A and B are shown apart, each in its own frame.
Chain A
């Protein structure tokens, strides 16, 4: 929908914030952005109702498997290059290679997860969003609603009704 206007409600409390989200949803306002200083179970719970689960784990899985494969390939292939015998062991002896594979699994898995958080989280974010307020890293919650200009008033009323300290557009 053409979101032409943004309304922001600043809240001091968790329960009022949750209330606001519930009410807005009830009114059919679904394009919400919720700012919180810390992740809050209730709010997440509220949001997860309509959102699919985060896709980060797929990244992790792919990364980890790549790691395992690389580990075994590198060790086995490179041992076959010269086939040097050390201590009577066969050039390709799997048990020691498992360690390398394991470490690479963790390494690539971890890096992939971190990468996912950036990509999916749209980070780094170069320009701050218009509705952001520094207090959100302190102790205030924010609910930003993108709506058609004609809906602004009703949104504001919903927000203040829910107990917003401050409502602005």
Chain B
């Protein structure tokens, strides 16, 4: 294994004991500021829930949907969250297989993000459905009349793709947690110790446990990798399988996957930078990590720009009147702001990351990430709302206006995500103790006897 890149230890002097200390430190009684934030988030969430209740009561009409935009902000935000959910598994699985060791510092946070993002996204099909109380009909469950879902419908593919993705991500997440929780157990006392003991499943780090654990982890990663790529492809089929001009395109699968990774990394940065600051993790999340993530963001942004160009080009080159009219309308009609805003946020802004200075400058990185998140939301909005608003049939062309109800629900979904994430970082190690240690210099008595590890 001497082909592996050198661990990042060169920049940090932390010992294994430091790692335990620094991580376990974060899992302690939080301060007032934390609770203040939690209250704010909880309040927002409450508003969202109330709005949803109102919508269920009076009907989907409470949201601004109409003909032709029978889908609008809910599906937009659904796709957005699914996209966010991609970075985590990508980092923990794909980068794991590629042995990109810098991932160790960020993957736990990213995985948590993934799980919670998918849990948020999972709400939207329910919120969106006209009779959400029957949404379970999309599940294949045995029943006397042999009524099964229509497996030809992209929505049913969604159900399978997303539930699979959620399950595998959660499993992956928990498997990764077990040794760390063991460490927590050993360092804590009283009731906390008992609880962690249960979650740790009696992990001891014996060779017996490690070898099966490592093998399973590797296989999970191997399975998760195609899954990551498939999930957003399947989500993209919701559109690509439809007839709507601007949707019916073979471009969508790669286009969506790339966009997902793009937005996912932005979200990772948005979450990691404050944690690095608040938990004082400069020793573990170093400039080199930022640089690496920024580079990935930049690359995905460039790929995305390429897809945007393809989209416009094919519309023009096809000579298909509907396609052209659709693109033309997006760029010039009532939603032009969203269209150009998307280009600005997703194609222009990330270009600043071409300079190394920018890549390691936390402020710039943060601003870029926020803009990228906005841009990616706009991208989905542009596909759905203007796309439907200017499709085949001029009689029904129309403009969609958000209402208080659907806007509140959208904001509420963010609250839901953050309440989960904030909760997590206070009860679980949001930095992988084991994997960070792994890449630190292993303690050696006779350093001379090894020309550096590996």
Using CB atoms and an 8 Å cutoff, list the residues of chain A in contact with chain B.
12-16, 32-41, 43-44, 47-48, 51, 53-54, 56-57, 60, 64, 74-75, 78-79, 81-82, 84, 86-87, 89, 93, 96-97, 99-100, 102-104, 106-107, 109-111, 113-114, 116-118, 120-129, 132, 134-139, 163
**Which residues of A sit under 8 angstroms from B434, Cβ to Cβ?**
37-39
Check B182 for interface membership: any CB of A closer than 8 A: yes
**Which residues of B sit under 8 angstroms from A60, Cβ to Cβ?**
219, 223
Select one of B1, B140, B179, B445 contacting A13, CB under 8 A: B445
**Which residues of B sit under 8 angstroms from A13, Cβ to Cβ?**
442-445
* Contact B171–A138 (Cβ < 8 Å): no
Check B280 for interface membership: any CB of A closer than 8 A: no
* Contact B208–A121 (Cβ < 8 Å): yes
Q: A38-B438, A103-B161 are in contact. Are A54 and B212 (CB under 8 A)?
A: yes
**Which residues of A sit under 8 angstroms from B33, Cβ to Cβ?**
none
Least CB separation from A117: chain B residue: B216
Question: Separation in Å of the A44 CB from the closest CB of chain B?
Answer: 7
Check B227 for interface membership: any CB of A closer than 8 A: yes
Least CB separation from A16: chain B residue: B445
Check B414 for interface membership: any CB of A closer than 8 A: no
* Contact B157–A125 (Cβ < 8 Å): no
Select one of A16, A64, A89, A113 contacting B152, CB under 8 A: A89
Interface residues of B in 182-211 (CB under 8 A from A): 182-183, 185-187, 201-211
* Contact B437–A37 (Cβ < 8 Å): yes
The distance in angstroms between the C-alpha atoms of A48 and B207, with both chains bound, is: 10
Interchain residue pairs with CB less than 8 A apart (14):
A13-B444, A14-B444, A37-B16, A47-B211, A57-B219, A75-B151, A79-B148, A99-B234, A103-B160, A110-B172, A126-B202, A137-B183, A138-B17, A139-B16
* Contact A104–B212 (Cβ < 8 Å): no
* Contact A128–B207 (Cβ < 8 Å): no
Select one of A35, A114, A138, A139 contacting B220, CB under 8 A: A114
Select one of B201, B230, B454 contacting A103, CB under 8 A: B230
Additional A-B contact list (15), CB under 8 Å, known A15-B449, A56-B216, A74-B151: A12-B445, A14-B443, A32-B207, A40-B442, A44-B214, A99-B157, A106-B227, A107-B163, A111-B167, A114-B175, A123-B202, A123-B203, A137-B203, A138-B20, A139-B16
The distance in angstroms between the C-alpha atoms of A87 and B153, with both chains bound, is: 11
Least CB separation from A36: chain B residue: B205
The distance in angstroms between the C-alpha atoms of A51 and B214, with both chains bound, is: 15
Least CB separation from A97: chain B residue: B151
**Which residues of A sit under 8 angstroms from B175, Cβ to Cβ?**
114, 117
* Contact B208–A122 (Cβ < 8 Å): yes
Question: Separation in Å of the A95 CB from the closest CB of chain B?
Answer: 9
* Contact A113–B220 (Cβ < 8 Å): yes
Question: Separation in Å of the B223 CB from the closest CB of chain A?
Answer: 5
Least CB separation from A57: chain B residue: B219
Check B134 for interface membership: any CB of A closer than 8 A: no
Question: Separation in Å of the B377 CB from the closest CB of chain A?
Answer: 26
* Contact B151–A79 (Cβ < 8 Å): yes
**Which residues of B sit under 8 angstroms from A118, Cβ to Cβ?**
201
The distance in angstroms between the C-alpha atoms of A107 and B35, with both chains bound, is: 38
* Contact A100–B151 (Cβ < 8 Å): yes
The distance in angstroms between the C-alpha atoms of A120 and B214, with both chains bound, is: 12
Closest 8 CB pairs of A and B: A125-B202, A117-B216, A78-B148, A134-B186, A139-B16, A124-B201, A137-B183, A54-B215
* Contact B16–A34 (Cβ < 8 Å): no
* Contact A93–B223 (Cβ < 8 Å): no
* Contact B224–A110 (Cβ < 8 Å): yes
